[in-house]
A and B are shown apart, each in its own frame.
Chain A
Amino acid sequence: MENNFENPFHGAGQVGQAVLEPTRRSSPRTPPFPYSSLPFASSNAKSPTPSPSPVVIPPGHNIVAPTLTEPVWETVQRDLSRILSNLKLVLFPNPHREDPGKALRDWDLWGPFFFVIFLGLTLSWSASIKKSEIFAVSFALLGIGAIVLTLNVLLLGGKIIFFQSLSLLGYCLFPLDIGALICLFKGHFIARMIAVFVTMFWSSWAAYPFISSAVTQKRKALALYPLLLMYVSVAFLIIATS
């Protein structure tokens, strides 16, 4: 999760203190985090450089750790914008797909959480019988499936971080959410099937580069097969319950 799982870089403008080193890539959206050599900044700071003349911090303001005193609304906005940007990164073609390790750097689990719940609710809504069971089954399938897929990649010797991979698999569920939503509108059966398959291919296309780049060449098929299997089974679940 969350979790849950933060990225404190929004709004941390340049405040005239020594920047130690940016601990992540600088993007136009987030300026490098202004670590200072004041001892109560975040820990895990690498070698400190001496700070310039002391900055007077007015009481109540915290320049050293700006996110510690930001208003609540800013935190909400930061989280929401992060969900959106992660979604765009994962689902749409962009240059970062060439280097997937860097792409989902600031992972979060809120997006996946909402998508999984949404998928469960849609499936449960469109089912005519056994609504509760379908919801529980779909939630458990998606949750445990994501964990098992991640473990699979890790056990194949892949270099991927547990939460990052969970987050990625959750975001890749978004097209299937759209497919399930389309299936809610009881149209022609063939049309629904085509829609679901299109979204399934979209999901697999979205997840493919991240998983395949994490394992060695020989084991790509071993890592990708369970992934495709899971998306196919979710697609059939959607079709079956509609």
Chain B
Amino acid sequence: MDQNQPAGENYANPKTCFFHVLFKAAALAFYILSALFFDSFVIIFVVTVVLAALDFWVVKNVSGRILVGLRWWNEINEQGESVWKFECLDQESLARMNKKDSWLFWWTIYLNAVAWIFLGIFSIIRFEPDYVLVVGVCLSLSIANIVGFTRCRKDAKKQIQQFATQTIASRFSSTLQSAFSVV
């Protein structure tokens, strides 16, 4: 164990981390290994895409919430325009988030997208349009999650800054007020 780490700094949510990685790895593994076992493209397509969709759902709804405390979604407001909404936990909870958890979260979604890009390049080189379709679907799902969570994180940082300036401003004004009331 690393001496510099505080005792017990381990994965805080091992089950969630496991599921976060499980579906991604399963989709990639199935896609890569399926050519050895299955003849039928239909099975490969359906299983890979279903695993990728499950992974998308798990990352968006479960591991995003639990590992990094972020959530994003899209709404249509009264005027009929689409609005992207971002949500994050308050600052103390965010600060309490396990570093290892969030490290795992971010790195696996980036690596997942990179892996699918590689596989896509392979299937383009080999002129297999069917497989490009599969890779395209899985890649768009991972990129959607990456973009959503990155924007959510930026939004969370902006909110924290706003809160900091707001607190400083309100503290300042309240000290002024108390100073003047004493006088």
Contacts and interface: CB of A to CB of B under 8 A. Distances in A.
Nearest to A107: B76
B74 A67 contact: no
A117 B141 CA distance: 16
Q: How large is the interface on A (under 10, 10 to 19, 20 to 34, 35 or more residues)?
A: 35 or more
A161 B80 contact: yes
Contacts of B159: 39-40, 43
Contacts of A110: 53, 57
Interface string A130-143: 01100110011000
B76 A161 contact: yes
A94 interface: no
Interface in B56-109: 56-57, 60-62, 65, 69, 71-78, 80-91, 93
Nearest to A65: B87
A82 B113 CA distance: 29
Q: How large is the interface on B (under 10, 10 to 19, 20 to 34, 35 or more residues)?
A: 35 or more
Given A3-B56, A5-B74, A67-B71, A62 B144 contact: no
B131 to A, nearest CB: 10
A10 B90 CA distance: 21
B75 A68 contact: no
Interface centre among B56, B133, B158, by most chain A C-beta atoms within 10 angstroms, is B56
B163 A1 contact: no
Interface of B: 40-42, 45-46, 49-50, 53, 56-57, 60-62, 65, 69, 71-78, 80-91, 93, 130, 133, 141, 144, 155-156, 158-160, 162-163, 166
